[in-house]
């Protein structure tokens, strides 16, 4: 039961979806504050290389994830400075992060006497829960068989959902994203909140990149995210800026990563390039459906002032 293709594929999907989930959650919080950061791919890469480096140095998973998150946050700080304080076009600034993050991580990964690209990280993750639970049919591997980071991501999903909809700071965050002028008038620091959640978003992307390099792949390679950051950007829209849906969407797209090969082994020829395209095609469809009707768009959850710099004087 527990070693059937279906159960094993679901487990693989959850592991493969976890880096995307961290990045998506981070980007949801950033965009909820009204800042669009398209630099997720770059932040994941810089988080990945930093986390991998920290893993090689310390062998400690949590320190490595923290290092990756901090590196992602530092990079997103550049975006915050440009997009919030200097009111640069957010799309241009986000794209610049992708290039900077990709270049920096490639440089760091290849330089030095013992380049990371051929290093081995000593980080090993073990399942969190006892074997008796993990051996339960089906739910054992799927629900109880994961490493602690997966459970942490579930906790964060729940916490983010609670924070956004059930707490006053969460309300403040949404207010800043929906109507910064009103939030400003109510005494909230629009700039401060936007800075904070842009950094939080960068931290999430960095953790995702670090988890990808350390645990999912166990190796560092130039450009190893291979579009995972872009998938995260797409999933934010697909999930309607809601943490719970981000969880679901991340795992579905985690499943798509191995589906092509599973089908190929089963004798069904589906070009893997076609499967890799699906997240973006689905996102296109969702965006079209959503934006065809402004009322629906508002209900789905796109923050009203997403991507618009706020300037008090400009009012």
Partner 1 sequence: MRQARWLLALLAVFALVAAACGDDDEAAPAEAPAEAPAEAPAEPAEEPMEEAEPAEEPMEEAEPAEEPMEEAEPMEEAAPSDGTGYSVAFVFDLFVNDGGWNSTHFRGVQQVQDAFPGLDVQVVEEVSPGPGATNAFEDLAEAGVDMVIATGFYQPDAEPVAAAYPDTIFLTWAGWTTTDNMGHYDAATEDGRYLDGLIAGSVTESGIIGYPAGFPIEEVNRALNAFTIGVREINPDAVVQVVYINSWYDPPVEQQAAEALANGGADLLAHELNSPAVASVAESRGLNIIGYSSDRSEVAPNAWLSSFTFEWGPYYIDQIQSMIDGNWEPALTYGGLKDGMIGNSPYGPDVTDDILALVDERRQQIIDGTFDYFAGPLVDNEGNVQVPEGGTIPFEERTLCCLWLIDGIEGSIG
Binding positions for partner 1, rule: CB under 8 A: 3, 5, 8-9, 12, 16, 110, 115, 117-118, 120, 216-219, 221, 224-226, 228, 257-258, 260-262, 264-266, 269, 272
CB of 57 vs partner 1, minimal distance in Å: 16
Q: Between the CA of residue 120 and those of 55, 137, 213, what are the distances in Å?
A: 9, 34, 11
CB of 18 vs partner 1, minimal distance in Å: 13
C-beta of 260 vs 303, nearer to partner 1: 260
Whether 272 and 260 have beta carbons less than 8 Å apart is answered as yes
C-beta of 148 vs 170, nearer to partner 1: 148
C-beta of 10 vs 74, nearer to partner 1: 10
CB of 66 vs partner 1, minimal distance in Å: 22
75-108: b or e for each residue (b if 16 or more CB lie within 10 Å)? bbebbbebbbeeebebeebbebbbebbbebbbeb
CB of 310 vs partner 1, minimal distance in Å: 38
CB of 267 vs partner 1, minimal distance in Å: 8
CB of 291 vs partner 1, minimal distance in Å: 31
C-beta of 167 vs 264, nearer to partner 1: 264
CB of 215 vs partner 1, minimal distance in Å: 8
CB of 112 vs partner 1, minimal distance in Å: 10
C-beta of 58 vs 191, nearer to partner 1: 58
C-beta of 74 vs 143, nearer to partner 1: 143
Q: Between the CA of residue 1 and those of 104, 138, 142, 256, what are the distances in Å?
A: 45, 7, 12, 22
Whether 254 and 276 have beta carbons less than 8 Å apart is answered as no
Contacts of 92 (CB under 8 A, 6+ apart): none
User: Phi/psi zone of residue 240: left (φ > 0), alpha (ψ -120 to 50 degrees), beta?
Assistant: left
Q: Tell me, rounded to whole angstroms, the distance of Cα 96 from its chain centroid.
A: 18
Q: Which long-range contacts (CB under 8 A, 24 or more apart) does 130-137 make?
A: 135/2, 137/1, 137/2
d(CA 268, CA 196): 48
Largest interatomic CA distance in the chain: 64
User: Phi/psi zone of residue 34: left (φ > 0), alpha (ψ -120 to 50 degrees), beta?
Assistant: left
Q: Tell me, rounded to whole angstroms, the distance of Cα 260 from its chain centroid.
A: 23
CB of 235 vs partner 1, minimal distance in Å: 17
SS3 at position 309: coil
For residue 235, which of 87, 12, 18 has the smallest C-alpha distance?
18
C-beta of 138 vs 226, nearer to partner 1: 226
C-beta of 190 vs 231, nearer to partner 1: 231
C-beta of 220 vs 310, nearer to partner 1: 220
């Amino acid at each position: 039961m527990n070693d059937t293709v279906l159960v094993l594929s679901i487990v693989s999907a959850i592991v493969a979806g976890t880096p995307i989930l961290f990045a998506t959650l981070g980007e949801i919080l950033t965009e909820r504050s009204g800042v669009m950061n398209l630099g997720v791919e770059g932040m994941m890469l810089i988080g990945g290389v930093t986390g991998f480096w920290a893993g090689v140095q310390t062998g400690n998973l949590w320190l490595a994830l923290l290092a990756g998150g901090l590196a992602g946050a530092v990079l997103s700080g550049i975006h915050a400075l440009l997009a919030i304080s200097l009111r640069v076009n957010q799309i241009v600034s986000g794209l610049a992060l992708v290039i900077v993050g990709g270049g920096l991580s490639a440089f760091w990964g290849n330089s030095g006497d013992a380049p990371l690209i051929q290093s081995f990280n000593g980080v090993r993750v073990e399942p969190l829960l006892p074997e008796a639970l993990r051996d339960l049919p089906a739910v054992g591997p799927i629900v109880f068989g994961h490493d602690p980071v997966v459970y942490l991501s579930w906790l964060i999903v729940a916490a983010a959902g609670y924070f956004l909809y059930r707490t006053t700071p969460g309300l403040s965050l949404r207010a800043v994203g929906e109507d910064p002028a009103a939030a400003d008038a109510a005494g909230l620091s629009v700039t401060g909140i936007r800075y904070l959640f842009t950094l939080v978003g960068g931290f999430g992307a960095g953790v995702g990149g670090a988890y990808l390099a350390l645990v999912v792949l166990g190796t560092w390679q130039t450009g190893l995210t291979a579009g995972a950051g872009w998938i995260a950007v797409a999933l934010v829209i697909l999930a309607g800026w809601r943490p719970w849906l981000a969880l679901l969407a991340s795992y579905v797209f985690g499943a798509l990563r191995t589906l092509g090969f599973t089908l190929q082994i089963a004798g069904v020829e589906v070009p893997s390039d076609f499967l890799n395209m699906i997240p973006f095609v689905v996102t296109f469809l969702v965006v079209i459906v959503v934006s065809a009707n402004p009322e629906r768009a508002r209900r789905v959850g796109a923050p009203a002032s997403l991507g618009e710099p706020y300037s008090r004087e400009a009012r």
